[in-house]
Amino acid sequence: MAKLYLNESPNEKVEKLGPKKETIKFLLNYSKALHVLDGKHLQYENLLN
């Protein structure tokens, strides 16, 4: 079954994908700016820029 879904031969080298530096920087900055406050029945999300 697995052979039906492979377009490349198993002997070929496959490049590993990695995130761009800009993507990592964006996610880290977003997580630093995000604050979640717990209320009685709700959660409030504040994005502090």
Q: What is the pLDDT of residues 2-48, one digit of tens each?
A: 556 656 666 667 677 889 999 999 999 999 999 999 999 999 999 88
Q: Tell me the β-bridge partners of 35.
A: 46
pTM for the full predicted model: 0.52
Helices (H), 1-42: 2-5, 21-33
Cα–Cα dist 47/29, whole Å: 11
Cα–Cα dist 40/42, whole Å: 6
